[in-house]
Every structure is written in structure tokens, then in C-alpha cells.
Amino acid sequence: MLGEKLEQLKTLFAEMERALIAYSGGVDSTLVAKIAYDVLGARAIAITAQSPSLLPEELEDARIQAATLGIRHQIVSTGEMDNPNYTSNPVNRCYFCKSELHDTLKPLAQQMGYPYVVDGVNADDLHDYRPGIQAAKERGVRSPLAEVGITKAQVRELSQQLGLPWWDKPAQPCLSSRFPYGEEITVSKLQRVGRAEIYLRRLGWQNLRVRSEGDTARIELPPEQIKEFAIATDLPALVLAFQELGFIYVTLDLEGYRSGKLNQVLDREELAAKA
């Protein structure tokens, strides 16, 4: 079945003839770039948007992965931080982020002669609260993985089958997702939470989030790792490092990491509205 979906992806790109990939360096968009390049060769290009909400390490990963694939890669800057509709961090913040991204990529694609802009949205993403998907659709962006019904698990399975060494790379959404809705996003806050996550990754913890709420950093790890983290980590040193970054309080989320956790407030508000 997965082999059939792979062939469908190849056919899809063959019909496009030329494609520009919105390439974050994550496992989804990297698989899309891989298949696009295999089918289209020099007629495919990967574009990565550089902004304060992207960790420098993620940008470097994108460069390395694109070079490994062989696909042409270009970096552009986006200005979502200049839009108060984005920095005020409303519940549809991602709509304004993706609007800025694709308002940048679409004219670039037209200028370079690429009739299609494609992204790495997968079939699972369609069932989550993702206002950015609507912004992309409004601008004619195509989502090959979603179009052929490939889920996140299948993205990883297919990436592994194709020999991509980053098939199990943890998801790394933009740093703005670390803040509760309504808290203003600034460049300094993004840098602070980004450096905090880098600190933890250098200690060996990879699948994690540092949620930022005012002056408090809340560390999220997979539930099965929480006990080991508390025992193995030099907690006073960690607290000091986070305080040097600008946090006052450092906490550990006992529920553990869960993708989209900050969206649970939306579920509560929806239930309250129905009551």
C-alpha cells in the first residue's frame, strides 16, 4: 500500500513538471523534496524561509539535508515579525505566518518559472487545528503528502525505506508555538526559548519543548523520560543556565510532552461556549 502511495507521489510530480518546495528541513518537507528531486531533478527547487522563529540549528540542518539530497536549495527571509496580527499571538497566528511565507514564495515561483508551490502537510495535519493550511490553500499551494493520504507515521516509514538518515528526526515546529495564545511574541523571547531548547539538546534530550509563559520556562519531555531526566540532570546548573537566559522560574511538566498541547485551551473554550 505504501509503495502505491509512493508511485502516486511520483506521478503527481511528473504531472507538475516543475515545482518549488516550501522546505523547512523537517521530515515531511524533506521527503517531499527527496521525491520531487528524484522525479524532476533540476526542475525542482527547495526554498527555506529564514526568520527569528526558526532555530539557527534547524536552518543548518535544512542546508545539510538539501545538499545530501542533491536538490537545489535557496534561503529567503520572511517578515512575519513585522505583522502585529502575528506578534500579538492570536489563536490563528499560524494563518498570518503561512500567509507571509506563501506571499513570499508564490511570486518567487512565478518569477523563476515554477508553476507549483508545494509543502509538507501530511494527512494527519488535516485533522488538527492548523489555520496555516487555510492560508496555503488560499494561495494555491499543493500538499502532495495529504493529497495521496500519507500520514506522519507513513512519512517516517517511507523516509526510512528510502534511506534518509533523518527519518526519525523529532518534529520541530516554529518557536512561536512555545507561547500561550495571547502572549506577545518578540524576537528576544524567541531567542530565549530557542537557546533553552538548545541547552537541553546538548545534554542529550532531543524530543522536547520548552514552553514559555511570562517569566516561567516549562520543560516538556516524553512521559517515560521524566524520571530519568530528574535523576540524571544537574538541576541547579539547569536552573542557573535558564535564569541566565532571562527566565525567573523553571518547571517540569509532569504530564509530559504532547504535540499541540497549547491548543487544549481552545477545546476548553469551545466546550464552555456550548455549555
The mean pLDDT value for 105-111 works out to 97
Degrees (nearest 5) of the Cα angle 210, 214, 188?
A: 75
- Where exactly are the structural domains of the chain? 2-161, 175-264
Element holding 218 (H helix, E strand): strand 216-220
Count of CB atoms situated within 10 Å of the CB of 182: 11
List the alpha helices (DSSP H) in 123-256.
131-138, 144-147, 152-161, 187-202, 226-232, 235-245
pLDDT at residue 179 tops 90: yes
> Three-state DSSP class for 185?
coil
2-161 and 175-264 agree in CATH topology: no
Q: How far is CA 266 from the centre of its chain?
A: 20
Smallest CA-to-CA distance from 40 within 70, 1, 83 is with: 70
Average pLDDT across the chain, whole number: 93
For residues 275 and 20, the model is more confident at 20
CA–CA distance, 240 with 235 (Å, rounded to integer): 9
pLDDT at residue 100 tops 70: yes
Reported as half-sphere exposure (CB side, CA atoms, 13 A), residue 122 has a value of 18
DSSP 71: -
pLDDT at residue 269 tops 60: no
What is the pLDDT, as a whole number, of residue 272?
Answer: 45
Degrees (nearest 5) of the Cα angle 121, 125, 127?
A: 145
What is the pLDDT, as a whole number, of residue 271?
Answer: 39
Identify whether the C-beta of residue 89 lies closer than 8 Å to the C-beta of residue 126: no
Each residue of 124-166: pLDDT tens digit? Answer: 999 888 899 999 999 999 999 999 999 999 999 999 999 999 9
What is the pLDDT, as a whole number, of residue 264?
Answer: 63
What is the pLDDT, as a whole number, of residue 55?
Answer: 84
List, in order, residues 6 or more apart from 185 with CB less than 8 Å away: 53, 81, 86, 87, 88, 89, 93, 176, 179
What is the pLDDT, as a whole number, of residue 67?
Answer: 97
The partner residues of 151 in beta bridges, in order of sequence, read: none
The mean pLDDT value for 52-73 works out to 93
pLDDT at residue 274 tops 70: no
Q: Is 42 exposed, middle or buried (0-12, 13-18, 19+ CB in 10 A)?
A: exposed
Smallest CA-to-CA distance from 153 within 136, 168, 165, 135 is with: 168
Pick the CATH number of 175-264 from 3.40.50, 2.60.40, 3.30.300, 3.40.630: 3.30.300
Return the amino acid letter for 37.
Y
What values do phi and psi take at 118, rounded to 5? -125, 155
What percent of the chain lies above the pLDDT cut of 70?
94
User: Does the structural domain 2-161 have CATH classification 3.40.50.620?
Assistant: yes
The mean pLDDT value for 7-20 works out to 97
CA–CA distance, 125 with 122 (Å, rounded to integer): 5
